[in-house]
Amino acid sequence: MQYYSLEDLNNLPSRDRAHFINSCTGYKSANLLGTVSKDGLTNVAIFSSVIHLGSNPPLLGFILRPTTIARNTYDNLKKTGVFTVNHVNENIVRAAHQTSAKYPGEVTEFDKVDLNTEFLNDFKAPYVQESKIKLGCAYTNEYFIEENDCLFIIGAIKHIHIAENIQREDGWLDLEAAKTVSINGLDGYALPHLLERLSYAKPDKDLKSLNKDGA
């Protein structure tokens, strides 16, 4: 085993530390957040920190860094109150990664990176047309994380759009069927393959493998 103390970590070049620490907590979700400004300029940016927060009510959270280039996302969602969360799939990995470039001034990232906007159900924020699982969310709250000046943003899920053949009998989304990717560190994109679904765990009872419908 290799060992690093906090002192070892602090002595690393900052870019190496960033690669290391960004990959040490495991795989991350890969989502594109879509927003629109008051003036109608659309924005799309990749986020690897979107997490499930609760099912009832349906809530998600994500982290916004103080110096992030994704401040446009924040400004827009604060002003309009809405944003979309769109899964990155295998076919749009490069376009999704390119959204992290620091485009100067007023641009529509959708055009720059070759992704298409889609407007659904009169929802004000743009969805990513190429995405197969997309959520329409309302900005709900934010918590200032004083340890490193980040914001933890809370969003309420109001609309869900799913391509055909992804949802199973018991509500579960087959992310492999959607070709949703996961993120390894700052710049690695991985495609997961389902090993198995497992039965609800009970003390002293053997687990069994479930089929994709949850049975």
Spatial CB neighbours of 37, under 8 Å, sequence gap ≥ 6:
43, 72, 75, 76, 79, 80
Place of tokens 């906007």: 117
Contact 183/27 with Cβ under 8 angstroms?
Answer: yes
Nearer to a copy of itself, 41 or 163 (CB): 163
- Residue in 124, 95, 127 with CA at minimum distance from that of residue 112: 95
Place of tokens 């970590």: 9
Binding region for a copy of itself (CB under 8 A) out of 33-41, 76-84, 163-171: 163-171
DSSP string across 108-161 = -HHHHHT--EE--TT-SSPEETT-SEEEEEEEEEEEEETTTTEEEEEEEEEEEE
Nearer to a copy of itself, 38 or 195 (CB): 195
Nearer to a copy of itself, 15 or 38 (CB): 15
64-93: contacts with a copy of itself (CB under 8 A) = 65, 85, 87, 90, 93
184 binds a copy of itself (CB under 8 A): yes
Q: Select from 81, 111, 114, 207 the one that contacts a copy of itself (CB under 8 A).
A: 207
The minimum distance between CB 81 and a copy of itself, in angstroms, equals 15
What angle is formed at CA 48 by the lines to CA 31 and CA 95, rounded to 5 degrees? 50
Nearer to a copy of itself, 38 or 178 (CB): 178
Q: Select from 11, 24, 114, 215 the one that contacts a copy of itself (CB under 8 A).
A: 24
98-137: contacts with a copy of itself (CB under 8 A) = 98-104, 112, 120-121, 133, 135
Kind and range of the H or E run holding 77:
helix 71-80
Q: Select from 31, 35, 43, 76 the one that contacts a copy of itself (CB under 8 A).
A: 31
Site string for a copy of itself, 46-65 (x = CB under 8 A): --xxxxxxxxxxxxxx-x-x
The minimum distance between CB 120 and a copy of itself, in angstroms, equals 8
Give the C-alpha distances (Å, rounded to integers) separating 90 from 31, 44, 140, 180, 196. 12, 17, 30, 6, 21
- The helix/strand/coil state of 84 is strand
The minimum distance between CB 38 and a copy of itself, in angstroms, equals 24
Nearer to a copy of itself, 75 or 138 (CB): 138
